[in-house]
Amino acid sequence: MLEDLKDFPRMYAKLPDLEDPNIRHFIYNNYRIIYELLEKDHIIRILTIFHSRRQLRF
């Protein structure tokens, strides 16, 4: 799963509460990982990692 992120960064879902298509998320081993695509620089920036039981608040 994490290996796929490097090769297919757009395969994971966009966050529904945000309009930015470059901020995405996925669940890995009970943790939600939220990341941002910086395509111009070919960078994936991890924004936060937290246990999936916690509520996501904006």
Q: What pLDDT, in 10s, does the model give residues 20-56?
A: 999 999 999 999 999 999 988 789 999 999 997 766 6
Read off the pTM: 0.82
Residue spans per domain, the chain: 2-51
Return the pLDDT at 34: 94
Q: Which residues contact 12 (CB under 8 A, 6 or more apart)?
A: 5, 24, 25, 26
Can you tell me the distance from the alpha carbon of 58 to that of 41, in angstroms, rounded to the nearest whole number?
A: 26
